[in-house]
Amino acid sequence: MSEKKKNSLLIVDDEKMTLNFLTHVLGSEYTIYSASTGENAIKIAREYLPDLILLDILMPGMDGYQTLSELRNCMETSRIPVIFTSGLSSTEDEEKGLSLGVVDYITKPFSGLIVKLRIQNQIQIINQLRIIEYLSMIDQLTKIHNRRSFDERLRMEWNQAIREQTTISLLMMDLDRFKNLNDTYGHQQGDIVLQTVAKIFPHSFSRPGDFVARWGGEEFVVLLPNTPSVGAKEIAEKIRTDVESVKIFCPNGSSIKITISIGVSTQLPVHDSPIDAFISNADKALYAAKEAGRNKVIHSCL
């Protein structure tokens, strides 16, 4: 049985004694990263994306306030919760820290037990929020990503494609004659068909960056970062044949054969390129595949 992954903390303090103390108090329960300057803290946070940051306010050079500002201005680290640690113990100092968006304020000298309990509380909140966020991004029927999750991933991959000047491809897919299937076999069997098709996708492409989601109803989408038109068409054709080859058995012993139509859109996006046109192009290609007799792949480049 695999060991549960520990949550991670980044401890930022210019005093070595404080770093050693906090590492000793928290090291058995969490993966610890440490930094003695704001500049190093930002680098480590970007590289390792810790679950929580303990940030000293009074540091030479870049202080805690400046470090927090830099963390918030970076997309990768902007949502990492931060706890301020400081020898400044006045109400005004604590109010200032909390007003800047830190989740807690721990004053020095530290009590090991209080530090542990406060970290524990924040980690519990973080883990609960992640579960809620995960569930909000998953289609409950098929257990793959939902449209909200796709929209978020598309924005991220689109911006990366612009920065790196790479092509990005989209497959818009629709199960053929799904309404007839529901009318003939019932919605419960229709749900089984959707679940079965969703399980096919991971076997049709293997790169970790490829992303599949349920678009809605009997429609699915696959996002293919850094994929030119030739590669996108190959993956689309693999999905089409994989779906076509599957038999889905009914309770009475009969079986259902299904097919899928796929529209493919490929683009090399630049600044101000509209995402809506990219999606619309895939949708138009899907419509053309339906019009051409279904169970086909149609590709259209922008």
Measured at the alpha carbon of residue 284, what is the angle toward residues 155 and 165, in degrees to the nearest 5?
A: 35
Question: Given strand 297-301, what is the order of strands in its sheet?
Answer: 211-216, 219-225, 168-175, 260-267, 297-301
* d(C-alpha 287, C-alpha 284), whole Å: 5
Q: Output the six-digit token pair for 169.
A: 């491809």
> At which residue do the structure tokens 């906090």 appear?
22
Nearest to 198 by CA among 148, 234, 248: 248
The secondary structure element, H or E, covering residue 253 is none
Nearest to 207 by CA among 169, 244, 172: 169
Nearest to 263 by CA among 240, 282, 236: 282
* d(C-alpha 31, C-alpha 49), whole Å: 12
> Does residue 291 have an active-site annotation?
no
Catalytic residue among 70, 218, 237, 244: 218
What number of residues does the chain have?
A: 302
Measured at the alpha carbon of residue 255, what is the angle toward residues 254 and 257, in degrees to the nearest 5?
A: 150
Give catalytic residues, as residue numbers.
218
